[in-house]
A and B are shown apart, each in its own frame.
Chain A
């Protein structure tokens, strides 16, 4: 009879308890690389000087397969209590949004839940101070800090968006012809996720004033979204943070009415 050394029994026990590499990867979402997404929006804005109501429709082709996923209808209004401040209240109806808990255990297998038919209601409060930087060459520079509080009534998630930005207005005969904007958006989750910043993105946009009432927009951004452990994965004993990065190219058609 062969006597096994005590260390051998310990090693054998460890190998039977620890999960193998293949089973562990299935619980963690994989972020595809080099993804380019596309987004389109159209909006109707009314400029009444004091109140600026708007209605906006947005749609996105997302992921490596360019699946038509996220859509949103946003309605609300800005109000201008001071020449350097606009505040707003908006309601957004959206579908196709992805949240951390949408990474689910299908048993067997894991995948992202298809949320394209799931309607969510988001309440948004906006406060955006701005100042003209007349000392810069060309004079027509405006610095803005867009601030938003978002409450998603679907999962009661709350977030703060802070987006500092700089816009240059190219004027011809005192009328704007082109707006060039650079912004950096930061989403801070207030009651979800495991990171300080949930999403961030540098964002470039060019707005062409086709006429006083019609604007064409082209945008480009590079977003980074951090997926934190979903409820299913926590229950499965996992903990992860996965960063999803994607370029987003956008186009917009805006109609502005001035009664």
Chain B
């Protein structure tokens, strides 16, 4: 187990099989909307569609921003607004760190190594999975972390406690305060998520308000 800056990393061996391909060492920025920034070795870079990104690059979207990254043959990543996503490794292991906001991950058939989204809890996906991870409210010491799966299944593990759960297609979990896993279940608000990562296939902007994940105490009328 390796700790980095308070964020726990979890290494899972998933979907290993066949020869490990060399894989792409770059990602391509295929879609940009609104305020999007790139930091490379700490320095801001001009952002333009089609530019190549490498390990260590950090993408940040503003309040009206959205971006889609394509890791050829291995994954599509769609960043929501107010998101900070670091591309830790684009080699045989595809690893990104989400420190703020939310990201859709579509893991493609060409992935032969491991894919990890690192947060205060780490989740990992195998090829053929499509899932969404986003930070929720900060009520306890650490923020909530929501995860839902659109296709395939994803194993979620809490490094500190070793607690883990397999989240199946159509279900989601809340990692309450970043430390406690809820039981996977279908959440009505996840039906409104826009999973499309291909601008050629239609609207890609996801306007889902994550506040809907929480009970609105002012909207409880039973008589």
Contact = CB atoms under 8 A, between A and B. Distances in A.
Please classify how large the interface on chain A is, using the bins under 10, 10 to 19, 20 to 34, 35 or more. 20 to 34
A52 B215 contact: no
Please classify how large the interface on chain B is, using the bins under 10, 10 to 19, 20 to 34, 35 or more. 10 to 19
B52 to A, nearest CB: 40
The secondary structure that dominates the A interface is strand
B144 A142 contact: no
Contact of A254 (B182, B215, B219, B222): B222
Given A173-B182, A174-B144, A174-B176, A45 B222 contact: yes
Nearest to B180: A173
Nearest to A217: B222
Given A45-B222, A215-B222, A217-B222, A142 B176 contact: no
Q: Which of B213, B219, B222 has the most CB of A within 10 A?
A: B222
Contacts of A176: 215, 217, 220
Nearest to A213: B188
B215 A175 contact: yes
Nearest to B189: A258
Interface string A118-132: 000000000010111
Interface string B56-77: 0000000000000000000000
B220 A142 contact: yes
Nearest to B219: A80
Interface in B177-223: 180, 182, 188, 212-223
A179 B214 CA distance: 16
A114 B192 CA distance: 53
Given A173-B174, A174-B144, A174-B174, A84 B218 contact: yes
Given A173-B174, A258-B188, A83 B144 contact: no
28 contacts: A43-B222, A43-B223, A45-B222, A47-B219, A52-B219, A80-B219, A83-B216, A83-B218, A86-B221, A130-B218, A131-B218, A140-B217, A142-B218, A142-B220, A167-B220, A169-B215, A171-B215, A173-B176, A174-B139, A174-B174, A174-B176, A174-B213, A175-B215, A179-B220, A179-B222, A217-B222, A258-B188, A259-B188
> 4 closest A-B pairs (Cβ-Cβ)?
A258-B188, A173-B182, A173-B176, A142-B217
Interface of A: 43, 45, 47, 49, 52, 56, 78, 80, 83-84, 86, 128, 130-132, 140, 142, 167, 169, 171, 173-176, 179, 207, 212, 215, 217, 252, 254, 258-259
Given A47-B219, A169-B215, A258-B188, 18 more contacts: A45-B222, A49-B219, A52-B219, A56-B223, A80-B219, A83-B218, A86-B221, A128-B221, A140-B217, A142-B217, A167-B220, A169-B217, A176-B217, A176-B220, A212-B188, A217-B222, A252-B222, A254-B222
